[in-house]
Amino acid sequence: MHDKKHLAQVNIGRARGAMDDPVMAGFVAQLDRINALAEASPGFVWRLKTEEGNATSLQPYADERIIVNLSVWETPEHLRQFVYRSAHTEVLRERKSWFERFGDAYMAMWWIDAGHVPTVEEAKERLRHLQINGESEFAFSFAHLFTPTNADATAATIRLQPSAAQQE
């Protein structure tokens, strides 16, 4: 078992239109700049992207307007610095222009072994677990951070049970 842990995070959003729809133009115009900022940020490890350089063309949900952002960071503080204390905050302020209100939790974090690259399916499982069960060591948010130590045993136990997504 690896001793060093990294923080994986997923967040999803339901776009108000297709990426080529004029309503999304302001969001699309900022993607490259914000993604480059993330990659240059202290503590950044990895992010999901296609050959186009972002993940907006991926469609992991039946609803084609749901886009996914998946990344890995060294610590929650590194992620927090990028999300809330960088130019990324400009995007957060304008998100209602581009994304519909989401009824469920739309962001989840969990600990992974350093070097592990999380999959979209893994991210969907963690987010769904958070939506159904609330905050736990298996999936959590900034509101209730868990340490890597207490996350390991719980994640192993939860994985033994079928997830809600597998039962649907």
In tens, the pLDDT along 99-152 reads 998 888 999 999 999 999 999 999 999 999 999 999 999 999 999 999 987 565
Sheet containing 44-47: give its strands across: 44-47, 66-73, 5-14, 107-113
Read off the pTM.
Answer: 0.86
**pLDDT in the model for residue 149:** 76
- Strand runs (DSSP E) across 21-148, as ranges? 44-47, 66-73, 107-113
Average pLDDT over residues 156-166: 43
DSSP 23: G
4-27 tens-digit pLDDT: 999 999 999 999 999 999 999 999
Residue 52, both tokens:
């186009």
Q: Give which of 8, 15, 19 is closest to 110, Cα–Cα.
A: 8
Cβ(140)–Cβ(130) below 8 Å:
yes
Q: Give me the residue spans of the domains in the chain.
A: 5-167
What is the rounded distance in angstroms from the CA atom of residue 52 to the CA atom of residue 129? Answer: 30
**pLDDT in the model for residue 159:** 45
**pLDDT in the model for residue 20:** 96
79-96 tens-digit pLDDT: 999 999 899 988 989 999
What is the rounded distance in angstroms from the CA atom of residue 167 to the CA atom of residue 151? Answer: 24
Residue 103, both tokens:
């009824």
- CATH topology for 5-167 is Alpha-Beta Plaits (3.30.70)
Assign 163 a pLDDT band (cuts: 50, 70, 90): very low
